[in-house]
Amino acid sequence: MRPTMCMRGKLALLVLVATCLTSTQAARGGGGPGCDFNHLPEVTGPLLEAPFVFEAIELSDGSGRRYEVRLPFCGATRCPIEVRLRDDDSIYDTVQFNECVNAQQPVRSKEDWILGVGDPLQPEKGIRVWDTGYEYFIVWVQARPIDLTADRRGMLLHIIGGYEHVWRNHYLLVARDDRLDLAWSAREIAGVGLVAIDLADIDGSGYPEILHFYGSIMGHVHEPSGEMLGDVEAAVYRWNEGTRKIEEVSLADAGLPIYASVGGMFDSVTAVMDASSSSASCLWLYYPLPTDQFPELEPGKFILAKFTWDRALAEKQLDACNPNGDGFVAELTDFPAPWRLKYYPVISAP
Tell whether 17 is covered by a domain: yes
Amino acid found at 108: R
pLDDT of residue 107: 87
- Residues 6+ positions from 304 with CB-CB distance below 8 Å: 262, 263, 264, 266, 272, 275, 276, 283, 286, 287, 288, 289
Residues 177 and 225 in one domain: no
Mark which of 191, 211, 235 sits at the end of a domain: 191
Residues 207 and 183 in one domain: no
pLDDT of residue 24: 31
- Which residue range is the domain that position 333 belongs to? 201-341
Residues 13 and 146 in one domain: yes
Q: What percent of the chain has pLDDT over 90?
A: 55
Q: What is the pLDDT of residues 285-300, one digit of tens each?
A: 899 999 999 999 999 9
Q: What is the pLDDT of residues 117-143, one digit of tens each?
A: 889 988 766 677 888 887 778 888 999
Mark which of 132, 157, 191 sits at the end of a domain: 191
Residues 179 and 215 in one domain: no
- Residues 6+ positions from 280 with CB-CB distance below 8 Å: none
Global pTM reads: 0.83
Tell whether 176 is covered by a domain: yes
Tell whether 236 is covered by a domain: yes
Residues 109 and 130 in one domain: yes
Q: For the chain, what is the domain count?
A: 2
Distances (CA, A) of 183 to 68, 110, 141, 234, 244: 17, 28, 19, 18, 9
Residues 183 and 248 in one domain: no
Q: How far apart are CA 327 and CA 348, in angstroms?
A: 50
End-to-end CA distance of the chain: 15
Tell whether 291 is covered by a domain: yes
Mark which of 129, 156, 191 sits at the end of a domain: 191
pLDDT of residue 99: 86
Tell whether 347 is covered by a domain: no
Please tell me the least confidently modeled range out of 50-59, 78-87, 261-270, 275-284: 275-284
Residues 184 and 207 in one domain: no
Tell whether 348 is covered by a domain: no
- Omega prior to 224 cis, within 30 of 0: yes
Residues 112 and 184 in one domain: yes
Q: What percent of the chain has pLDDT over 70?
A: 80
Q: What is the pLDDT of residues 47-89, one digit of tens each?
A: 888 999 999 999 999 999 999 999 999 888 888 999 999 999 9
- Across 238-251, average pLDDT: 93
Residues 161 and 205 in one domain: no
Tell whether 95 is covered by a domain: yes
* Neighbouring-strand partners of residue 261: 306, 329
